[in-house]
Amino acid sequence: MPSLSRLQEAYDPKDFTVLIIHIGGPRSHVAEFVDFHGYSLRTLVDEDKRVTRTYGVLFTPTHVIIDKRGQVVGRSVGPKPWDSEAAHRLVKLLMAQ
């Protein structure tokens, strides 16, 4: 998540937003984890796993990339360097659409 946090910090949240979706678990544990690590990412707790089912998440971490129209345009499973130049090019491409 540190690379996702750095990626988010590079953009105005009105134009691009990283949303962490925590599957199950109490909200208090998620808040403690996010606060402890100093992440400034928006977080959703998917207690009933509705979002997880909607996007077909089977493993964590899974990254689902959604464009401005709400369409899924990409997916990635496993840790990735989200603060890389390639990730920034992807974000800029999506923002230009």
Residue-wise pLDDT tens digits, 51-64: 889 988 888 888 88
Burial of 68 (0-12, 13-18, 19+ CB in 10 A): exposed
Number of domains in the chain: 1
Residue 19 within a domain = yes
CATH of the domain at 45: 3.40.30.10
- Indicate whether 97 belongs to any domain: no
**Has residue 26 been placed in a domain?**
yes
Q: Is residue 16 part of a domain?
A: yes
Residue 95 lies in a domain: no
CA distance 65 to 86: 14
- Quick one: average pLDDT of 76-87? 92
Can you give the residue range of the structural domain that contains 16?
2-88
3-state secondary structure (DSSP) of residue 72:
strand
In a domain, 96, yes or no: no
Residue whose C-alpha is closest to residue 57's, from 87, 22, 17 = 22
Show the DSSP H helices in the chain as ranges: 2-9, 27-37, 50-54, 85-96
Kindly tell me if the per-residue pLDDT of 87 is higher than 90: yes
pTM > 0.75: yes or no: yes
